[in-house]
Every structure is written in C-alpha cells, then in structure tokens.
A and B are shown apart, each in its own frame.
Chain A
C-alpha cells in the first residue's frame, strides 16, 4: 500500500472520528456548557488553576502526550504485519484513545479539578488510589528501563551520536543562561542554539569524531564487559545515567527545561522534514506483509499488540495530564473536545508517520529487518527518517545521525524528568523512615541504580511489553472512572465502559502471558544468570500488576453496582 494512501486513511479516520463520533458523544451525552464556570475560573490561583486559550492548551496537551511512545510502539508492532498495527492505531484512537483523553478532562472539569488520584479515591474506593500509585510507580520505573535500554544500548553505541547529544545539552544550558540570566530575546536564543546544535550534529558525522568514539567504545568489535553488555553499551548507558543525574539535581530552569525546549525544535524540524520527504517520495510498502504470523518475538497478537502500541492508540498517561494539567486550565467546558480529543487524533497521525518509517521507508519487510527490526525500533526510525529526509536533499549520513540524536535527546528529556519525579516520590514515601531519602542526590542515585538494573539486565522487547501493560492498566482505570463519573451524573456511560472492559481484560491477559513466559524460562537448564534475573524481575512485576488490577476490577464492579441517579439534567 502506498504511504500517501495510508496517510489519507488516517486523515479520514480523524475527520469521521473527531467530526462525527466524538462530536456526537460530546453534544448528546456529555453536553458541555460553555457558560458554566470551570475550575480554572472558580479556583483561579494564577498557577495550577488558571484559564488559558484553547489553542495554547491544544499545543500544551499535544506536546505533553506525544513523545517517544507513538514512535516506538508502531515500529515494534509491525512485526505482526502492517495491517493489525495500522488497524489498532486507527480503531484504538477512534473508539478508545480520544474517549479517555477527553473523558478524563471533562471529568476533571466537572469534579472541581480533582486529580486522577483523588477521583479514584472518590469514585471507586480508597484502595483504588493506592493501586493507581502502584501502576504509576512501575510505569515510571519501566519507562526508565525501556528508554534507557533503547538509548544507552542502541542509539548511544553509534559513534556518531554522543557528540551530537553533548552539543544539544550544551546548547540547552546556553539557552537557559541566555533567557534567564542574560535576558536575551527568545527568538535570538532559539536561532543561535538551534543552528549551533545542527552544526554540532554535522560535526559528529566527521571522521575524527567518529574515530575518537570508535576508540572509546572499542569498535568495530566492541568486547563484552559484563552481563552480556558490550563496552559500547556500558559506556553508552553510563553517559545516559550521568545526563539523568544532572537533569534531576540541577535547577529545572538551567538544565531540564531549556534542553526540552531545544529538543522540541530539533524534533519538530525533523518530523516536518520527514513528512515533506515522504510526500515528495510517495513510497509504497513493497513486499511488507499485511500479516506475518500470530505469535512473534513479542508474543501472540492478542493481547500483546494492544500493549505494544500504547501511546498512538490509547495511553493511560494521557489521563493524568488531562486531569492534573489541562482540566485545571480550561477556559470553557466546550474547549475539552478540541483540546483533549483533538490532540489525541493528531497523535494518531503522528503514530501513523512513525508506522510508515518502518513499513515504507525501507522498501519492504527485509529492509525493516536489516535496519534492526522490532529489537532496534529507534534505529529503524532514525534510518527511515534519514531515507525520507534524503528526498529533500539531506545526505543520508547526516540524516541518520540527526534522527539518532533527536531520538536520544527525546528519550533523555523524558528520563531526566522521570528521575526528578521518582526522587520527589521516594522522598515523600520513604523520607520519614529513611531521612537520607530526602537528600536530592541520594534519591536520584537510588532511582538511577534501579534504572541501571533494568537497562543492563532486561531485554528490550520484554521491558517494552511490561511498560505498555503498566500504561494500559492506568488507561483501563481511567476509562472505568470516566464510566463511573458519567453514571454519577446520570448520563449514558457505555461509550467509556466497553473500552474500559476491553483494556482491562486485554492488559491482564498480557500480564499473565508475560508472567507465564518469564517464569517458564527459569526451568530451562541453559538459562544464564542475566536471563534468570530478568525473568524473575519481569515475572514479579507482572504478578504485582495483575494482583493490583484484580483488586481494581473488584472495587470497580462494586462501584458500578451502586445505585445511580436516573436521568441527566436537561440542557438549558
């Protein structure tokens, strides 16, 4: 199938999904009232609760939800063939993804801007809040492991990447200084730092730089150091850890935030260039099979595909952003659909572009496999993007280094914020018992040591599936909350309840599959120490999540059976 046709199908799904289905639910079921005061107006504090224009919030919401997830998931999922992956991206967004993002936002608005934790407590049970925290904790831990693995053990081992990453970091620091200390104009700051970053990425492709990193990594045959990790992988991972450490302990304005800002431009220009190149090139999928086989390296199509593509179809994380972030800033209830639903449908297009880098940019299935396949999803994306960019005159060598640097920096910006979050969370959780945990350096080091274990020990595809499952459980909980909230207002709730049931059943099945396959590995006589530790870790995480999900289903079922008001208030 031609890539332009795929984009057109996705665009048609956007028009019908947003313009017909989503609008219908919005108008007939949820019935937003544009004149009703939102929490942003009622509880305005100038910070968390503060009204903002729907356009600003659309940009904020989209940037908050679209990062590496919609890129990585589809590239891994095409191992089942392009058809199931594409179908899930489109139908997942159409029936489930926007329902969650929009529903969570409306629920937050109608419930005084409560966070998802508070809503779980009030609508399901006190225990539901604790369960949400468990999902969230594992989600963060697994995101650190999966992104750390993808970056430290794949992208950073390319000798053309580390210098580019250093330059992005330096330019981020410069941008922070120029903006906050030297009070320079933001346009000047942006132009200077972005141009210098591109120069840095070009420098990283030159021979002397590559020779230096070849020497550092012991390439071309990087020796194995320990636990099956090569010298390049160990050094690459340690560079990632140092970056995350600095991101966690340095003031946010001087490091994390400006680097995020620079990376936004680097990433956006790359994506726009890639789309332009694709439109000019108009490649087809060649011999890429519509369906390969039911069971692949990641497991059976059902349930594993549905946790492999999370963000891009439906992702639990979005519900947290929608409630704690955006719902408290909505100027009017009627803005929830364009902001929450609109951003999710746009993310579907973003995921479709990532899907095309795997299926169309290499001319067929063999090309995808040669580029790294599901096991090296980010390398596939950078290679695919380079192929697209080559059609607008950008040399492939530069394009590959550029794609790798932007994926690296995208992952690292996420990871540094996760470490910050984990540091704060561990100080709050364990700070009273272990006062040392309140120290920012100790909290950060503990989080990073846990990350190192996950990165060095657990294989990429396994950790990605576990991460997706933790994420999708949050989605199941959020959808259940939306259904309960709609019931509490006497409105129709099946539009959220059926997706909730689907997500919870599918994710529990995925976790049981993960637990079974990992514990089964332990009975093999040839298992290595590394594989045994990985199997135990992933198996235990899967079991903990299944138990938590079982409690959640029980509490949710009880909440659903409570008597509810009969009819929705008529719209005046």
Chain B
C-alpha cells in the first residue's frame, strides 16, 4: 500500500479513532492496573532496599542477593517514592468529574 493513498489515509483515520476510543474507555483500567502493580513493587523495594533512602529494614546480605533483579528499577523507584505529592496529584483518580 502506497503511503498517502486513500486506503492508507483511511487506515490511519481508523487507527486514530481506535486510539481515541481506547483513551476514552479502557485506558483508565490499564492505568489503574499499572498503578496497583507499581504500588506493590514500590513497597517491595522499600522493604528490601529501604536503606537507599535512609530506612534500614532488611540486613544488607539478603538485599544483595536481590540486587541484580532490582537494579534496573532502582532509579525509577527512588524518583517515584520521593516525589512530593499533594491533593492535586489525586485529581487524575477522579477523572470525568466536571
């Protein structure tokens, strides 16, 4: 199919429409599922690597064995754990309020 042809354009429009519909419907579900998983992960990393942010919970021996699995997520975890939050951060949880 040639780019720019009528069929191509129609396909792109259909793709955009599907994405918009997804944004209006199940995107919220996906976000919520991701958030729930992230909360569990955050708690797990806090319990095992709390000393990285000044909360020594488990002795370092055990955490060292977990270290290779956690390293890829450490930066993300620190950023997300230490990010300042207030009420207005919760606004996205009550979408469609207006």
Which chain A residues have a beta carbon within 8 Å of chain B's beta carbons? 43-48, 50, 52-53, 55-70, 115-118, 129, 132-133, 136, 143, 179, 186, 252-253, 257, 260-261, 264, 268, 310-311, 315, 317-318, 320-321, 323-325, 413-414, 417-418, 420-421, 424-425, 428, 471
Interfacial chain A residues near B96, Cβ < 8 Å: 63-67, 260, 413-414, 417
Q: Which of A50, A67, A116 contacts B97 (CB 8 A)?
A: A67
> Are A55 and B95 neighbours in the complex by a CB distance under 8 Å?
no
Does B51 reach chain A (CB closer than 8 Å)?
no
Task: Known contacts A46-B38, A118-B86; decide if A56 and B28 are in contact (CB<8 Å).
Answer: no
State the main secondary structure of chain B at its contact with A. helix
Q: Which of B19, B29, B94, B97 contacts A59 (CB 8 A)?
A: B19
> Are B28 and A260 neighbours in the complex by a CB distance under 8 Å?
yes
8 closest residue pairs by CB, A with B: A59-B23, A325-B92, A55-B19, A320-B91, A64-B95, A117-B88, A117-B86, A56-B23
Question: How distant is the Cα of A43 from the Cα of B86 in the complex, in angstroms?
Answer: 18
Q: Which of A45, A53, A320 contacts B79 (CB 8 A)?
A: A45
State the main secondary structure of chain A at its contact with B. helix
B14 to chain A, nearest CB (A): 11
Task: Known contacts A47-B35, A56-B22, A257-B29; decide if A417 and B97 are in contact (CB<8 Å).
Answer: yes
> Are B93 and A421 neighbours in the complex by a CB distance under 8 Å?
yes
> Are B32 and A253 neighbours in the complex by a CB distance under 8 Å?
yes
Interfacial chain A residues near B38, Cβ < 8 Å: 45-47
Task: Known contacts A47-B38, A55-B16, A62-B24; decide if A424 and B90 are in contact (CB<8 Å).
Answer: yes
Given A320-B88, A421-B94, 5 more contacts at CB 8 Å?
A: A56-B19, A136-B87, A257-B32, A264-B24, A420-B93
Q: Mark B20-38, 1 if CB is under 8 A from A, else 0.
A: 1111111111011111001
Interfacial chain A residues near B98, Cβ < 8 Å: 64-70, 310-311, 315, 317-318, 471
Task: Known contacts A45-B76, A325-B92, A325-B95; decide if A117 and B23 are in contact (CB<8 Å).
Answer: no
Interfacial chain A residues near B16, Cβ < 8 Å: 55
> Are A63 and B21 neighbours in the complex by a CB distance under 8 Å?
no
Interfacial chain B residues near A117, Cβ < 8 Å: 86-89
B36 to chain A, nearest CB (A): 8
> Are A324 and B92 neighbours in the complex by a CB distance under 8 Å?
yes
Does B84 reach chain A (CB closer than 8 Å)?
yes
Instruction: For B90, give the chain A residue with the smallest CB separation.
Output: A421
Does B11 reach chain A (CB closer than 8 Å)?
no
Interfacial chain B residues near A321, Cβ < 8 Å: 91-92, 95
Question: How distant is the Cα of A136 from the Cα of B89 in the complex, in angstroms?
Answer: 12
A-B contact pairs, 25 of them (CB 8 A): A45-B76, A53-B19, A55-B16, A56-B22, A56-B27, A57-B23, A59-B25, A62-B23, A64-B97, A70-B98, A115-B88, A117-B88, A133-B86, A136-B87, A252-B32, A257-B29, A261-B25, A310-B98, A317-B98, A323-B88, A324-B89, A417-B94, A421-B90, A421-B93, A425-B90
B37 to chain A, nearest CB (A): 8
Q: Which of A64, A129, A264, A414 contacts B86 (CB 8 A)?
A: A129
Interfacial chain B residues near A58, Cβ < 8 Å: 20, 23
A65 to chain B, nearest CB (A): 6
Q: Which of B25, B31, B88 contacts A324 (CB 8 A)?
A: B88
Interfacial chain B residues near A417, Cβ < 8 Å: 93-97
Chain A CB within 10 Å, residue with most, of B34, B85, B88: B88
Q: Which of A66, A143, A253, A264 contacts B25 (CB 8 A)?
A: A264
